[in-house]
Amino acid sequence: MHKNKLITVIGSSNFDIIISVKKNPKAGESILAKDLFTDYGGKGATQAVTASKLGGNVKFLTCLGDDVFGKLVFDNFKEKKMDLEFIKIFKDQKNGMAAGTFDDKGENIVICYPGANSLLNKDVIIENLDHILKPGIILTQLEIPLESVEYLSTKKTKDNTLIVNPSPVDNTIDYTPILKNVDILIPNEIEIGQLAGMEASTLEDIKRASDIVLDMGVKNLVVTMGGNGVLIKNRDLERHIEAEKVKVVNTVGGGDIFAGSFTYYLSISDDLVESAVYANRVAAISVTREGTQSAIPQLSEIEEFEKFLIN
């Protein structure tokens, strides 16, 4: 193992409202919920908290509102002993929010309100660029203004590994200016199809879509495919990691916990495949329980991973 590289996460922070339902509703349908939970989320925050909880050397750049939800989110970061240096609080702004449902099959529907996340613009990146470009790993997503991610991708140096979790994807946008500068892209099976401009419903489809995205300039792909595992692909490597067999309860934060744990393990190993294997296990534990950040496993649980497996 290597000494922990610096991990700088740049992304969103949300307060989450999660509703448990027997079956997700159709358009126009009203249903009764089974239960309701609140948690702390946002793709950036969940990824940063995951990497930090596992032992990563994490700095997190994010924008919060000064409303009641922003205060709750800030207190959550303090409770989790996150570094608070780059957490920006904006006066008279609403914090980011996410509302979602998950059903008995573990499938989820999530709607996000950006709030203060939309203020993490290019100016904020420029203001903090000296720190962001310190040697290490930069991890970001698409829940912040696209101009920020694009600018960041053009400024990274040979001392930075840029990891992008391309979520959410807007089919009307050309992401090539960003993708050509990305060292590691972590999409799910839907997002890889969207980026490639094709339907990707089978493993062979996903492999073809991955080749299209690699042609856009991405150096390495780590595609999360839920129950179908993980595909790692670059010009010299293709590796399919089977999904771990666990009892799925809720998949809401699974992708972000994967990205955070992958980045953590990469920071101590520099090994693409081993990082994906590790993250596959961490994310598998997380989907066996309810919640977003509250679903992030303890280190002791990861060490006893086998107890979560089912036949």
Q: What is the count of structural domains for the chain? A: 1
In a domain, 85, yes or no: yes
Range of the domain at 219: 6-25+33-302
In a domain, 140, yes or no: yes
pLDDT at residue 1 greater than cutoff 60:
no
Model confidence pLDDT, tens digit, residues 254-302: 999 999 999 999 999 999 999 999 999 999 999 998 888 999 999 999 9
- Is 226 in contact with 286 (CB distance < 8 Å)? no
In a domain, 310, yes or no: no
- Residues labelled catalytic: 256
In a domain, 1, yes or no: no
Residue 251 has phi, psi (to 5 degrees) of: -105, 10
DSSP helix/strand/coil, 214: helix
Model confidence pLDDT, tens digit, residues 88-132: 999 999 999 989 888 888 787 888 899 999 999 999 999 999 999
In a domain, 308, yes or no: no
Q: How many Cβ atoms sit within 10 Å of the Cβ of residue 29?
A: 8
Model confidence pLDDT, tens digit, residues 134-186: 999 999 999 999 999 999 999 999 999 999 999 999 999 999 999 999 999 99
| Two structure tokens written together for 256 | 């972000």
| Two structure tokens written together for 164 | 């992008």
Q: What is the spatial distance between Cα 85 and Cα 136, in angstroms, rounded to a whole number?
A: 18
Model confidence pLDDT, tens digit, residues 48-96: 999 999 999 999 999 999 999 999 999 999 999 999 999 999 999 999 9
Q: What angle do CA 272, 277, 279 make, to 5 degrees?
A: 90
* CATH number of residue 185's parent domain: 3.40.1190.20
